[in-house]
Structure 1
C-alpha cells in the first residue's frame, strides 16, 4: 500500500498538475477516485468540509489545494526537486499565473464550446461551489475572446523556450512546467481540435509533448474505505508554529478559501509556516486528523 494517497478524479485539471509533479519525482502513489460533484461522503470526513479536488493524504495529515500539495511533496521527497532552477519565485509566478489567469480563460473556452452539452447537475454543483451563476450562455459568447487570450498567453509562455531549452527552467522539468502544462491538457482533453496544435507558436508543442511524456509516476488504485482506514491507523505529524501565530495555539478556529469553495474547516489551531495553516480535528470514526491549507488565499478566524 502506498503512503502517498491522492484524492482526485481523472478529468480534474488541478489533479493533473499534481500528477505531473508525482511523475517528475518518480513517486509511487495511490489514487482514490472521488465524485466530480457533491456529495463526497468519503472525502468530507477527512477534510472537515473542504470539498475541492485534489486532496493529498499522508497518514492522518490532509493537505488541501494543489498549491500546498506540491510543496509538501517537495518537502517530504526533495529529490528530484520541483524547483530545478533553484529559483522558487520563478516557479511560484508561473503557478499563480496558470492557476488564475490561464485557468479562467481555459474554463471560458471549454464550457463555452461545450455549451448546452454541460450536465445540468454539474452546473448546479459549480454554482454552489462558487456562489455565483454558472452562465453557459455568457461563456459561449466569451469563448472566442478566451481563445485569443489563451493563444496570446501560449506565445508568452513559448518565449521562455526560444533558447532551445527542453523545459521552462532549463534541462530539467519542475513545478513551473506542471503548472503551465495542465491548462493546455485540460482544453485538449475536453475540447479536442480546439487548440490541439499551435504551429504559429514555435517551441510550445514540443514542450507540451515533453511534459506529457513525464507521466504520473507509479500509480495504483485505492478504495475510499482503505484511505479512511489509513487515516484512522495513523497520527498527525508534529507541527511548528510561526512566532506571530503562537497566541492562536490551542484555540478553536476556522479555515476557509477566499475565492470559491468557502466551506469552513473547523478545528484546533495546531501550527503554521509562511506557506500553510493547520488545524487538528477530532473525527468521531477516525480520531485525530490534521488538515493543512495554504496561507495564501485562505482565511483563519478564531471562533
Structure 2
C-alpha cells in the first residue's frame, strides 16, 4: 500500500506538535473520496488513484492517535466513563492497539472492575508478551484484590524496567504497609522516600511517609511528615481535615506508647526496700489500671488521601 504523507500546508496554522482535530480528517477523507470518484469517471486511473486510495486508508490510524490522546486527557481529569467509551471504539477498529489495551486496563483498575482489567491484561499478553506495562498492571490488580505478596512480586518485576517511576515506588510502599509487619513498615518508609525524591511536589507521598513512620513508631518524624503534607495540599479542606485526624491519632499513639514504657519501667525497677511489696498489699498502693485499647489507626487509606 503506498505511503501517504499529508502536506504540511494542509495543516496551516496548527502547531506541528499538536495532533489535528477529528473534523480535519473528515474533510480530508471526504476530499480524497471525491477525487477518487472524479478519477473513476474521467478514466484517470493507475498510480494516482492507487496513491489516493492509500491516503484514504492511511487516515484511520492517525485518527486513532487523536482519540487516544483525548482519552488519556480524560483519564487524567477523572472522566473515566468518557475515556472508556473512546478507547472501546478505537479497539473495535483496531483490536491489536496495545496502547488502548493498557489504558483500558488502567480505567478498569480505577473503577474497581478487576475481572475486566484482568481480561485486558490477558489480551495485552497475547498481543505483545514483552509489553513493559504488564507487570505493573498485574500488581495493581493483585493490590485491588488484597493479595499484597503477589502485588509486591509484580511491582518488583515492573521496577526492573521502570526504576524512576515515583508512583510505582509509592505503590510498593502501600503494599508493604498492608502487610502489617514492622519490617515491612520500614520498607514502606524507604520506598516513600524514594517516591518523594523522584516527585517532591506530590503531597500524597509525604502523607504516605507520615503513615509509614507511624507504623514504625517514629512518631515525631510522622508528625513532621504530616505537617509537610498538609502544606502541600493547600486550601483543600477535606484533605487538611484528613491529615489533622491522622496527626491527632499519632499524638494519641505517642502518648500511649510513652505511658506503656513508663509503666513497664516501673514494674521492672528493683524495689527500694525489701519490706515494701511491689504491688498491692498493705504496704503499697494499688496496681495501675490496664491501658485502654489502642485505637485503630486512621488515615491509612490506599494511595494516600
Which TM bucket (shorter chain)?
under 0.3
Which TM-score applies when normalising by structure 2? Answer: 0.21
Bigger relative CO (Cα 8 Å, ≥ 6 apart):
1
From the CA coordinates, give the structure whose radius of gyration is larger.
2
Select the structure that is richer in helix.
2
